[in-house]
Structure 1
């Protein structure tokens, strides 16, 4: 398959999703990106991509509302046809999710359902809705976390939801392999993004503490993770599927 031409990146109004959308666009990929809340961030992502010479459109999607996935699939395919005369998606990056952290005694059933329902259930059923619109030879990347390998207080439910995504990715790689579709997961490590309210981005002491626990001696940036995802879906990685790529600078080895 030639260089992927059309991608969908969920949760791309800011942070890692925005960085991934920009990285794909720099590789000549036309990017449809999703947002859940206000559209301002998504508009900014589209504007930035266009200023950098790429092409992008923004679509609203709530990854926690699986009842709306079929309608979203119709809206997405209609937008791809209208804007780019494309009838298939070549790349799907499942980045949207929530990072909510509580210790065992503080986790409520509602909080548990929100985290698992968004990060795993939402990802699962969005893929189910979009696979019929994914080209043979396409790529799926599911964003996980380095916390499925190492531990941190208060992350049990979040890490478990992402571990489920990783296990799902393995099964999906086997199931979609006959169509030539590659499925991998990317596990970001400590990064200065707006994740978890921008805790690491805005806290120099936290960044310094985590930097001392990485082989490369620093925390990562959203652009570095976005570049890794863009590389993973490129033709150069055409023989790679069912893998977990950790992009963490060698955190907590």
Structure 2
């Protein structure tokens, strides 16, 4: 990695929105570090695609539920960067990794809630905290939220509530990091056709129709609709944007 080239880290980028975001960021001329939870083979394919675009890339395993692993993870990233750039810092952190939970409040177990808190709030909070000394001044943080933090679909109470928490956390990041000129923003997708949540939006025809019929632009979203917005927030053109929630939902339930 060249010292002058900016570097973004995207969590959960072996597939779906994370993969698309990583590729779009690379197209903007940034080098990219990606993480994957279990699918190393797919992650390596993303690395190859980024390298084919002329940017440097590497993949690391990371389970965002396991906050105890974050210190070693950040050290490993720093060691790699120091060896290759002479500097331990990144420029942009994109907190994308996540899983779905579809369960009515009456059926949600404490174990399910705890796991979602660990992935979607605690993990995001502490991974960001660990990286703060290693994000260059003038860099940025992009937290991926969801339209479900604004509108309500039965069965997503835990997921939607935690995403709302991430959105408020992002405002605090923007305020507390403003002196370092680090921007913090939220990208909130609507329903997207990926394998997220077992491919519910993509594969369930009734769900897909529900989404399309309640979206101004008349269809469910695709990963390609989202990644470019994340990538934009990693450019100089977005230097004056912070503390914002950018919903990318095609006008769903507005």
Q: Secondary structure at the match of 1:7?
A: strand
Change beyond 3 A, Cα 1:85–1:220: farther
Matched residue, 1:216: 217
Matched residue, 2:49: 48
Partners of 1:103 and 1:84 lie apart in 2 by 49
Partners of 2:126 and 2:207 lie apart in 1 by 35
Runs of 4+ in 1 over 6 A off after TM superposition: none
Change beyond 3 A, Cα 1:136–1:4: farther
Partners of 1:102 and 1:16 lie apart in 2 by 23
Change beyond 3 A, Cα 1:86–1:22: farther
Matched residue, 2:191: 190
Matched residue, 2:59: 58
Compute the displacement of 1:84 (Å): 4.2
TM (norm. structure 2) is 0.95
Matched residue, 1:74: 75
Partners of 1:4 and 1:64 lie apart in 2 by 30
Compute the displacement of 1:60 (Å): 1.0
TM (norm. structure 1) is 0.96
Compute the displacement of 1:113 (Å): 0.2
5+ long unaligned stretches in structure 2: none
Q: Secondary structure at the match of 1:128?
A: helix
Q: Secondary structure at the match of 2:226?
A: helix
Q: Any idea what the Cα deviations from partners look like across 1:72-102, whole Å, max 9, x if unmatched?
A: 0000111223344443100100001121111
Matched residue, 2:230: 229
Aligned: 1:38 with 2:39: yes
What is the CA RMSD across the aligned residues, in angstroms?
1.3
Compute the displacement of 1:117 (Å): 1.3
Partners of 1:97 and 1:244 lie apart in 2 by 18
- Mapping of 1:1-253 within 5 angstroms? 5-253=6-254
Partners of 1:66 and 1:145 lie apart in 2 by 23
| Residues 86-95 or 26-35, more deviating | 86-95
Partners of 2:118 and 2:5 lie apart in 1 by 30
Instruction: Determine if contact 2:147/2:189 at 8 Å carries over to the other structure.
Output: yes
Partners of 1:105 and 1:205 lie apart in 2 by 24
Partners of 2:240 and 2:39 lie apart in 1 by 39
Compute the displacement of 1:206 (Å): 2.4
Partners of 1:49 and 1:209 lie apart in 2 by 35
